Structure 1
Amino acid sequence: MVIAGTADLVVSYAFSVVGAIILLVAGFIVAGWAKRAVFHALDKRGDTTLARFMAAGARYGVLILVGVTVLAQFGVQTASIIAALGAAGLAIGLALQGTLQNVAAGVMLLFLRPFKIGDFIDAGSVMGSVEEIGLFATELKTFDGLYVLAPNSSVWGSPVTNYSRVERRRFDLTIGIGYDDDVDLALETLGELVRGDDRVLDDPEPFLFVGALGDSAVEVTARVWIGASDWWTASRELTKKAKQEFDARGISIPFPQRDVHMITAGQN
């Protein structure tokens, strides 16, 4: 009888083990399918970052469901396991409040999309091109090629300036000229310069004006709009060419000056 009972137990557990193995194999296959399906569905919309996040979430969701089902195969009360996991999750959450803040901030960044991979951003203490947006941190690459790993909570908690979000940016080319120089000639020179550059947009058209009468110079400005991808190089090159054109036409760019009146002793 003991031998027969043992044999029945072995057979019963053997079927449970075989069933668990089949469930695990099928679960991993389904998890892979779910990950690829979610990724391709979201990636078609051009949102690669969110596609990766949701695809990973779909895979882990399927694997967790498979794990609970496998335990049920061996007669384990899954309700108690789920309750235990919930209690453990609460304890871990209390112990990792800072980490969970990063996770929550990462979720908000992924769904609200203030920036995407490849955008150049300024988020308070960090600035650079976005390389990756993860659940815990955002990876950036600075202008000088340095790698920056910024916690999501610090990025989410700061005002974010996205230099790549809009298609065009304004640039004010402001130069100070001497009070003895011809203002109209200076404005004409700036107008010819900006209108002759193909990177300067025609709409809105360039706006030329005298901005201020400073202590040592008259400020003349050419306000133009440039495509975001060309803004950095175009703004620097236009500034250089403006200096060269002003020099060629005899328009001075004065440095700050101050008149000093000397009063000697006994002089009224």
Structure 2
Amino acid sequence: MAALSAGLEQAGALAVEYSFSVLGAVILLIAGFIVAGVVERAAYRGLSGVRGFDETLKKFLSKTARYGVLIITVVAVLAQFGVQTASILAALGAAGLAIGLALQGTLQNIAAGIMLLVLRPFRVGEYVDAGSVSGTIVEIGLFATELKTIDGLFVLAPNSELWNSPVTNYTRNALRRADVTIGIGYGDDIDLAQTTLAGLIDSDERVLSEPAPTTFVSELGDSAVAVTARYWTKTPDWFQTKLDVTKAAKLAFDDKGISIPFPQRDVHLIGQDKD
């Protein structure tokens, strides 16, 4: 009976002790979830106040802050029951290292995605060329970027590939320069060709007056003299303006009798004297 009484007393003491531990753990969990939600919303609002900050990155960072608070909460709850938190942190560190090694390529894409969202070498709707990938940006994700090629194809490029390649953005700057080069015959009037080209680009309202357009002889080729018109337009007008100027130059040269020769090659035959 004495042993039973002592056992009951010890069990009662443990029950009281663990009741407080369980109660403290429940309070910590509730408080942790509340604080995690507050931190997530505060981080999102704070990042939203930064002008031009990407929506995907705002959600990612605010969720990261939330999970960080939850991890701290779980560690604190386990400490309530006498678990050594140092060993937990060491285990989490080892697990994180193992996961990082296993998902090295994926984490590299995430890191590249964050850098792309922060530095913004391209935005949605811009046409870019990055290594073997080119097209209009449709969506920038944390793992990959979606593009649409000029002929309407779907391309999903890993962020690490885009980040590790030089990026040429064709639509970022407001103005673009264009060169229209046309070859004329060696017997044609060069001044007339330049004057004709100059008149064409001066009469086009899409061609900017500053920087001033110019025409010049750019090359003396094997079969033709290359006459170039150089001008600047707004970026959205660049492609169609170049097409229109090229067509108008062909029609104007035909009207003025300026030839656009086919490739030619002179062949000299050297005969041998017969005995």
Regarding TM over 0.5, the answer is yes
The CA deviation string for residues 103-144 of structure 1, in whole angstroms up to 9 with x for no partner, is 332233233332222221100110011222223222211112
Give the count of matched residue pairs.
263
Q: Percent identity?
A: 52
The amino acid that maps onto 1:142 is: T
The worse-fitting range, judged by mean Cα deviation, of 134-143 and 51-60 is 51-60
Match of 1:113 in 2: 120
For residue 104 of structure 2, what is the aligned residue in structure 1?
97
What residue in structure 2 maps to residue 173 of structure 1? 180
1:121-169: CA deviation from partner (whole Å, max 9, x where unpaired) = 1001100112222232222111122221111221122221111222211
Q: CA deviation at 1:54?
A: 3.7
Worse-matched range after superposition: 229-238 or 5-14: 5-14
2:67 corresponds, among 52, 57, 63, to 63
Q: Which has the larger radius of gyration?
A: 2
Corresponding residue for residue 247 of structure 2: 240
Paired residues of 1:35 and 1:56 also in contact (CA < 8 A): no
Q: Tell me which amino acid in the other structure corresponds to 1:114.
A: P
Counterpart contact for 1:187–1:209, Cα < 8 Å: yes
Q: 1:199 to 1:140 in 2, by over 3 A?
A: same
Map 1:193-204 onto structure 2 (within 5 A). 193-204=200-211
8 Å Cα contact 1:38/1:58 also seen in 2: no
Alpha-carbon shift at residue 256 of structure 1 (Å):
0.8
**Map of 1:65-214 to 2, 5 A cutoff?**
65-74=69-78, 75=80, 76-214=83-221
- Contact in 1 for aligned 2:181/2:226 (Cα 8 Å): yes
The one-letter amino acid of 2:52's match is G
CA displacement, residues 158-192 of structure 1 (integer Å, 9 cap, x when unaligned): 22111122221111110011122221111111111
Give the letter aligned to residue 182 of structure 1.
Answer: D
Report the Cα distance in structure 2 between the residues aligned to 1:6 and 1:94, rounded to whole angstroms: 43
Residues 265 and 70 (structure 1), Cα distance of their counterparts in 2 relative to 1, 3 Å cut: closer
For the Cα contact (< 8 Å) 1:39–1:52, is it kept in 2? no
Q: Residues 189-248 of structure 1, C-alpha deviation per residue, up to 9 Å, x if partnerless?
A: 111111111211111100111112222111111111121221122112211221122222
Q: Which residue of 2 aligns with 1:30?
A: 38
Verify: 1:257 aligned to 2:264, yes or no. Answer: yes
**Structure 1 residues 73 and 47, CA gap change in structure 2 (3 angstroms):** closer
**1:255 maps to amino acid:** F
CA contact (8 A) 1:35 1:55 kept: no
- How far 1:85 moved relative to its partner? 1.6
Q: 1:140 to 1:35 in 2, by over 3 A?
A: farther
Cα distance between partner residues in 2 of 1:14 and 1:153: 46
